[in-house]
Chain A
Amino acid sequence: MARIIVVTSGKGGVGKTTTSAAIAMGLAKKGHKTAVIDFDVGLRNLDLIMGCERRVVYDLVNVINNEATLNQALIRDKRCDQLYILPASQTRDKDALTTEGVGKILEELAKDFKYIVCDSPAGIERGATLAMYFADDAFVVTNPEVSSVRDSDRMLGILSSKSRRAEKGEEPIKEYLLLSRYSPDRVKLGEMLSVDDVQEILSLHLLGVIPESKSVLSASNAGTPVILDEESDAGQAYADIVARYLGETKPHRFIEEEKKGLFSKLFGSK
Chain B
Amino acid sequence: MSTGTPASQKIALEFKSTSLTVPVLLLASNDTSLVDQQLKEKVAQAPEFFKNSPLLIDLQKLNSQNLAIDVAEIVAVVRQHGFMPVGVRGGNDKQNSDALAMNLPQHSIHGSNAPLVNKAPAKTLPVPVQEESKEASPPVENKLITQPIRSGQRVYAKGDLIVTATVSAGAEIMAEGNIHIYGSLRGRALAGVLGNVDSRIFCSDLQAELISIAGIYQISDDLKHAAHKPVQISLDNQTLIIKDI
Q: Which of A140-161 contact B (CB under 8 A)?
A: 150-151, 153-154, 156-158, 160-161
CB distance B148 to A154 under 8 Å? no
Q: Which residue of A lies closest to B183 (CB)?
A: A203
Within the complex, which residue of B165, B168, B184 is in contact with A153, where a contact is CB–CB below 8 Å?
A: B168
B199 CB to nearest chain A CB (Å): 25
Interface residue SS majority, chain B:
loop
With contacts A154-B170, A203-B148 taken as known, whether A161 is within 8 angstroms of B165 at the C-beta atoms is: no
A126 CB to nearest chain B CB (Å): 17
Q: Which residues of B contact A203 (CB under 8 A)?
A: 148, 165-166
B173 CB to nearest chain A CB (Å): 13
Q: Which residues of A contact B170 (CB under 8 A)?
A: 150, 153-154
Q: Which residues of A contact B148 (CB under 8 A)?
A: 156, 202-203
Q: Which residues of A contact B113 (CB under 8 A)?
A: none
B169 is an interface residue with CB less than 8 A from chain A? yes
Q: Which residues of B contact A158 (CB under 8 A)?
A: 152
A105 is an interface residue with CB less than 8 A from chain B? no
Q: Which residues of A contact B186 (CB under 8 A)?
A: 201
Interface residue SS majority, chain A:
helix
Within the complex, which residue of A150, A156, A161, A200 is in contact with B169, where a contact is CB–CB below 8 Å?
A: A150
Q: Which residues of A contact B169 (CB under 8 A)?
A: 150, 153, 201
B137 CB to nearest chain A CB (Å): 27
A175 CB to nearest chain B CB (Å): 10
Q: Which of A13-70 contact B (CB under 8 A)?
A: none
Q: How far is the CA of A156 from the CA of B152 in the complex (A)?
A: 10
Q: Which residue of B lies closest to A172 (CB)?
A: B147
Q: Which residues of B contact A150 (CB under 8 A)?
A: 151, 168-170
Q: How far is the CA of A55 from the CA of B37 in the complex (A)?
A: 74
Q: Which residues of A contact B184 (CB under 8 A)?
A: 200
B243 is an interface residue with CB less than 8 A from chain A? no
Q: Which residues of A contact B79 (CB under 8 A)?
A: none
Q: How far is the CA of A154 from the CA of B154 in the complex (A)?
A: 12
A176-212: contact bitstring with B at CB < 8 Å (1 yes, 0 no)? 0000000000000000000000001111000000000
Q: Which residue of B lies closest to A201 (CB)?
A: B168
B153 is an interface residue with CB less than 8 A from chain A? yes
B150 is an interface residue with CB less than 8 A from chain A? yes
B149-160: contact bitstring with A at CB < 8 Å (1 yes, 0 no)? 111110000000
Q: Which residue of B lies closest to A124 (CB)?
A: B152
Q: How far is the CA of A201 from the CA of B169 in the complex (A)?
A: 9
**Residue of B153, B165, B186 contacting most chain A CB atoms (<10 Å):** B153
CB distance A157 to B165 under 8 Å? no
CB distance A157 to B166 under 8 Å? no
Q: Which residues of A contact B150 (CB under 8 A)?
A: 153-154, 156-157, 160
Q: Which residues of B contact A160 (CB under 8 A)?
A: 147, 150
Q: Which residue of A lies closest to B147 (CB)?
A: A160
Q: How far is the CA of A200 from the CA of B183 in the complex (A)?
A: 10
Q: Which residues of B contact A161 (CB under 8 A)?
A: 153
**Residue of B150, B168, B169 contacting most chain A CB atoms (<10 Å):** B150
Q: How far is the CA of A70 from the CA of B170 in the complex (A)?
A: 41
Q: Which of B159-189 contact A (CB under 8 A)?
A: 165-166, 168-171, 184, 186
Q: Which residues of B contact A157 (CB under 8 A)?
A: 149-153, 168, 171
Q: How far is the CA of A153 from the CA of B149 in the complex (A)?
A: 9
Q: Which residues of A contact B165 (CB under 8 A)?
A: 203
Q: How far is the CA of A200 from the CA of B186 in the complex (A)?
A: 11
Q: How far is the CA of A153 from the CA of B152 in the complex (A)?
A: 8
Q: How far is the CA of A256 from the CA of B171 in the complex (A)?
A: 32
CB distance A154 to B152 under 8 Å? yes
Q: Which residue of A lies closest to B165 (CB)?
A: A203
Q: How far is the CA of A150 from the CA of B209 in the complex (A)?
A: 14
Q: Which residue of A lies closest to B187 (CB)?
A: A153
Q: Which residues of B contact A151 (CB under 8 A)?
A: 151
Q: What are the 8 closest A-B residue pairs judged by CB atoms, nearest first?
A: A157-B150, A153-B151, A154-B151, A157-B153, A154-B152, A153-B168, A156-B150, A153-B150
User: 27 A-B contacts, Cβ less than 8 Å apart?
Assistant: A150-B168, A150-B169, A150-B170, A153-B150, A153-B151, A153-B152, A153-B168, A153-B169, A153-B170, A154-B150, A154-B151, A154-B152, A156-B148, A156-B150, A157-B149, A157-B150, A157-B151, A157-B153, A157-B171, A158-B152, A160-B147, A161-B153, A201-B166, A201-B168, A201-B169, A202-B148, A203-B148
A binding-site residues for B, Cβ under 8 Å: 150-151, 153-154, 156-158, 160-161, 200-203
Extra pairs beyond A150-B151, A158-B152 (5, CB < 8 Å): A150-B168, A151-B151, A153-B151, A154-B170, A203-B148
